[in-house]
Structure formats: C-alpha cells, structure tokens
Amino acid sequence: MLSADLLHKYGLPEDEIVDAVECAVARTLMAAFKRTVTVRAEGELEIIAYPKLGHPVEMQLKDIPKKLRRHIIHSVEAELQTRQILLEAKKLQELQGRVFCGSVGRIGSRGTLHVTLEIDDLLKPLILFGECPLRYQPPHERSRYRIGEQRSFLVTSVRPVMVGGDIAKVRLILNRTSRALPALLLQDLTGITGIKCRRRIAGGFSEVVTPVRIPKTSINTVGKELREHVQVLIAP
C-alpha cells in the first residue's frame, strides 16, 4: 500500500518517515472507526485496534475497505508533505537577516511584489520565491517596479504558510525599508564587518557608521540601489 517511491521522494530522515506514516494511518483509522488505534510502520505495517469492550484486535490491510485505504494513502502523503515543508523552513531559517538579489516576477493587486531569488548554496544553486508586501517597499518606489526588474531584498522572515488548514509552502517575506539594509549591502560589497546603520529614512537618506574607510564606489553603488543618499561616518 505504501510504496518505496512514496516514502523516499520527500527527502526526510527514515525515522521521520516512519513516524509520519504511523501518525497519519492511526489518525485516519481512529476517525473512521471511532476507537483507539495504534500503528507500527517499521517493516510490515502493523495495525492494532482497541475496542471499548474485549481484547485488542490486529487489523489486516486486506480487511480495510478500498475507499478507506485510498483515504489513508492521501493522509500519509499530506503528512509527509507537511513535514517536508517544515524541514525546508527550518533549513531556510539561516537566510533570515541576509540580503539577496531578486527579480520581480509578478505584482499583486495590492502591490505585493512576488520575487524570484537565486541563492548560491554550497551544494547547488537554489531558486526560491519571496514576497515583498507594500508596507516593506519605500514610498518613492511603490507603483514603479517593473516585471523583470532586479533589486536587493532583505529576508525578514521565513515561515510555513497554511492553505485550507494544511501547511502548503514556505514563504519568504522580503523587505526594502529596513534600517539594516544599507549596512548589510555595504558589508556584502566590501567584506568589511562592523558596519552599522544608525538612522534611515527609506528613499531619503541613510546614516551609516563604519570602523574603517569604505571605497566611494561602494557607497555610490548602495545609494543607487536604494535610490537614497548614503552618509558614511568613520567611528573606530
């Protein structure tokens, strides 16, 4: 009933797969039979039902109606998908607080930017999708973005998204108004650590403090990216 392809396509650890199968099967059968059910999925699937009266009864797969078996398979797939997304979200948490270049793929009816991010990973390049809500866009840039335009975004948060009561995907929330953005862009360009942004009015100016001198070309590049004046002070 539970094929190897089904169990291995989600990229989960073996113990996580076993636990997901046991939880999904037990939950589905308890809802169907209105009784306690325990499941073991290591090796052959073992199902034990506990009636209100009498001894525990071992249930065989062949004795479960086909329609219910299909429902079990659907529940197992949904559980594995949920756990896969949660694992992905956990891995992607390390992106939070970092800046990446993204391409505007779509602009929502409320102004939200749907952005494609290309991230260089140690093993392989990652293509991820993020959203930059209107409130995280500088006022002077709103309604001026173009499809295909490349901009730098700060990853503000990484979180799973519920659709119809189930976790359906991982959402990256992006930001271009953060006070941290100018300093992070300068750090990425120069490799200099310890750069801080003390004050920022997005689209107006940024006041940045650095422990050492920063090349003027880097300052101009960041100012052009943010479309604002970047003032740099040296404070060893």
Task: Say yes or no: 8 and 81 in one domain.
Answer: yes
Please report the pLDDT score of residue 1 as a whole number.
47
Domain with residue 168: its CATH number is 2.40.50.140
Report the chain's terminal Cα–Cα distance, integer Å: 66
Q: DSSP for 36-82? A: EEEEE-SSS-EEEEE-SSS--EEEPGGGS-HHHHHHHHHHHHHHHHH
Rg of the chain over all Cα atoms, to the nearest angstrom: 25
Task: Say yes or no: 190 and 154 in one domain.
Answer: no
Please report the pLDDT score of residue 8 as a whole number.
66
Number of domains in the chain: 3
Task: Say yes or no: 139 and 165 in one domain.
Answer: yes
CB atoms within 10 A of CB 200: 22
pTM to 2 decimal places: 0.73
Q: What is the pLDDT along the chain (236 residues), one digit of tens a residue?
A: 455 665 567 778 888 888 889 999 999 999 998 989 999 988 788 999 998 888 888 988 888 899 999 999 899 988 888 888 888 888 888 899 999 999 999 999 999 999 999 887 655 567 889 999 999 999 999 999 999 999 999 999 988 776 666 656 788 999 999 999 999 999 999 999 999 999 999 999 999 999 999 999 999 999 999 999 999 999 87
Given 92, 116, 149, which residue is the final one in a domain?
A: 92
| Domain span holding position 47 | 4-92
